[in-house]
Amino acid sequence: MSEQVWLATIFEAHRKHLQAVAYRMLGSLNEAEDAVQESWLRLSRADAKGIENMGGWLTTVVSRICLDMLRSRKSRREESIEAQVADSITSQENIIDPEQEAILADSVGIALLVVLGNLNPAERITFVLHDVFSLPYNEIAPIVGKSEVATRQLGSRARQRIRGAKAVPEIDHEHQRDVVQAFLAAAHAGNFDILVAALDPDVILRDDRQTEAARVTRGAVALAKQVSGRAQKAAQLALVNGTVGIIVAPQGRLLYVLKFTMSHGKISEVDLISDPARLRQLDLAILND
């Protein structure tokens, strides 16, 4: 067996792990495949016989590649994977394998992919490597270019944001969840009466996808008619700026967010936010069961 064949065999044994690491960091199967391929190129140019821990070496390399990609994405101010709007769905043919990406997104957790997108690159790399793949902080520190103490702080900050540390008091949070869950379930089922019951009679919906004339919908009956039976399957509860809202993120791509304002136990305002710039300003967090 030639050295190149031997090296390729070893790399293929680690490919699935590297893809899993890269996908969680980047949120895109296309970009994850690019990162994995680049790690192979770097391995093929390295002195492989001098690498004692091949799995650790490859994980470090693919993590550094992903960190560079995330920083480049941010510096170019490109629209992130988690902040793409409806046109991303119409370009599904550009995805390497839509079915595989759907499976990966489901296994990772749609809400987690969305929230990871709100972390800065170093926070995201640290969280994925430590909390998902159990890499110790002293091994993560050189990857993100920080001291071990600073890396621990990155992990702690990321963990707080992931788990919604800024959530509203529990009693209010539970009530909000009940109301929004009832609204979402009724919208799915087309239950008009329950929808109206969840809404303040003078509720206002502001939808930034619409033109100026159609942007605002007023009144419980009008809003219920608009959403009854039309809730998307990808819609799910999440914390939006610390209050219970709804995200719609098929395969981890955030299309829009519903931000709710409550008054006297009912929904009094709904803001549908799809503009990428506005989405990036939101503080989104996984809503624990």
Is the confidence at residue 93, as pLDDT, over 50?
A: no
**Of 247, 237, 249, the residue nearest 173 (C-alpha):** 237
What pLDDT, on the 0 to 100 scale, is given for residue 214?
Answer: 75
CA 16 to mean position of chain CA atoms: 21
| Secondary element (H or E) of residue 262 | strand 256-263
What pLDDT, on the 0 to 100 scale, is given for residue 52?
Answer: 87
User: How do strand 235-240 and strand 199-207 relate by DSSP bridges?
Assistant: unpaired
Is the confidence at residue 77, as pLDDT, over 70?
A: no
The whole-model pTM stands at: 0.56
CATH number listed for the domain at residues 3-162: 1.20.140
Tens digits of residue pLDDT in 164-174: 644 444 446 78
Rounded CA-CA distance 89/100 in Å is 16
Which fold is adopted by the domain 170-285? Nuclear Transport Factor 2; Chain: A, (3.10.450)
- In three-state form (DSSP H/G/I as H, E/B as E, the rest C), the secondary structure along 201-230 is EEEEEEECCCCHHHCEEECHHHHHHHHCCC
- Residue 122 identity (one-letter amino acid): A
Rounded CA-CA distance 237/188 in Å is 13
Tens digits of residue pLDDT in 180-197: 999 999 999 999 999 999
Rounded CA-CA distance 87/46 in Å is 41
Alpha-carbon radius of gyration of the chain: 22
Q: Which of 95-109, 133-147, 148-162, 207-221 has the highest mean pLDDT?
A: 133-147
Domain definitions of the chain by residue range: 3-162, 170-285
What pLDDT, on the 0 to 100 scale, is given for residue 72?
Answer: 85
What pLDDT, on the 0 to 100 scale, is given for residue 81?
Answer: 39
- The percent of residues in the chain predicted with pLDDT above 70, rounded, is 82
